[in-house]
Chains A and B, each alone.
Chain A
Amino acid sequence: MSDAKAAAAKAKTTTVELRLPSRMGYEKVAMSTAASVAKLMGFREDRIEDLKTAIAEACINAIEHGNRLNEKLSVGVVLSAGENALEVKVMDDGVGMKKQPAKPDIDRKMHGEEGPRGMGMFLIQALVDEAEWVAGTDGHSYVRLVIRLDKEAA
């Protein structure tokens, strides 16, 4: 992208920010806000459902693992609506992940070889176009998700 195009795209970005308590259930506030923004952008219903699940799982990870359910800490959510994509950052006060967990395996789960949990990150990666986990050096970490507006299929 040329500098001029990048600058134009940035100028058209609309940002919505949320600060959630580190309490289970508040991921639903992020879900409904993200759904409203995505609807305004023209996303199809099925993609909005994908986004809702992905952002819920990102917030749950931030609440449970990042902030360890410490209600004195909050989870930051920044939704950046561009012309063709919605970027979501979910930030917590954790140290981030050292390595990605293995892909969940239903056969291993059914046979008791791995626990029944551990599907959040898999779902996030499967449901959005881009997902990256960034461990900050300043005690803050974030996950960045991107979901693109598919105009042809809209």
Chain B
Amino acid sequence: MQSETKSRVDQLTTPAGHSATILRFEGDIASTSKDAVLGAYQALPKATTKLILLDFTKVDYINSSGIALVIQLMIEASNSDQKVYAFGLSAHFTKVFTMVGITKYAQLFADQDAALGAL
């Protein structure tokens, strides 16, 4: 019933010349998304991955279990001195992420260009 979460990793360079890793998600982010969210993050090389951007452009549904996975990712990233940012959230999920406090630890941007331009 829940649509399978897909994730893909892209490497880009910001206009300022920093290397950024983009985790692109597609489908629902729910309790069944552990491999797609945490698994994809944990497969990144820690030594060379310092800027992580989470792309939610193709995500329609995020529930509290999915938010918990994002927070778990943020905790692991924080413990590895990595910075996490996010973009592509709908207005509603931007509000939800703000309500639960995620924006205190991960800045949100409207889209990829805005995120890359700010880093």
Q: Does B61 lie at the interface of the complex (its beta carbon under 8 Å from any beta carbon of A)?
A: yes
Of the listed stretches A1-9, A70-78, A118-126, name the one at the interface; the rest are far from the partner chain. A118-126
- Which residues from B are CB-within-8-Å of A116? 68-69, 71-72, 75
A110 touches B92 (CB 8 A): no
- Which residues from A are CB-within-8-Å of B74? 110
A123 touches B1 (CB 8 A): no
Which of A25, A28, A117, A126 makes the CB contact (< 8 A) with B99? A126
A57 touches B63 (CB 8 A): yes
- Which residues from B are CB-within-8-Å of A57? 63-64
Q: Does A104 lie at the interface of the complex (its beta carbon under 8 Å from any beta carbon of B)?
A: yes
Q: Does A26 lie at the interface of the complex (its beta carbon under 8 Å from any beta carbon of B)?
A: yes
Identify which of A23, A28, A105 gathers the most chain B CB atoms within 10 Å of its CB. A28
Contact with A along B55-67 (1 / 0, CB 8 A): 0000001011101
B1 touches A119 (CB 8 A): no
B32 touches A119 (CB 8 A): no
Contact with A along B24-48 (1 / 0, CB 8 A): 0000001110000000000000000
B61 touches A106 (CB 8 A): no
**Interchain nearest-CB distance for A19 vs B (Å):** 15
- Which residues from A are CB-within-8-Å of B30? 24-25
Contact with B along A90-128 (1 / 0, CB 8 A): 000000000000001111011010011111101100100
Can you report 13 residue pairs joining A to B where beta carbons are below 8 Å apart?
A24-B32, A27-B63, A50-B92, A53-B96, A56-B61, A106-B100, A106-B101, A106-B105, A107-B101, A110-B105, A116-B72, A117-B65, A119-B100
- Which residues from B are CB-within-8-Å of A27? 63
**Interchain nearest-CB distance for A43 vs B (Å):** 13
- Which residues from B are CB-within-8-Å of A109? 71, 75
- Which residues from A are CB-within-8-Å of B99? 122-123, 126
Which of A24, A26, A28, A119 makes the CB contact (< 8 A) with B64? A119
Interface size on B, residues (CB 8 A): 27
Q: Does A17 lie at the interface of the complex (its beta carbon under 8 Å from any beta carbon of B)?
A: no
Q: Does A145 lie at the interface of the complex (its beta carbon under 8 Å from any beta carbon of B)?
A: no
- Which residues from A are CB-within-8-Å of B13? none
- Which residues from B are CB-within-8-Å of A53? 63, 92, 96
Contact with B along A42-62 (1 / 0, CB 8 A): 000010011001001100100
- Which residues from A are CB-within-8-Å of B91? 46, 49
What 5 A-B pairs have minimum CB-CB distances, sorted nearest first?
A25-B1, A106-B101, A49-B92, A25-B2, A116-B68
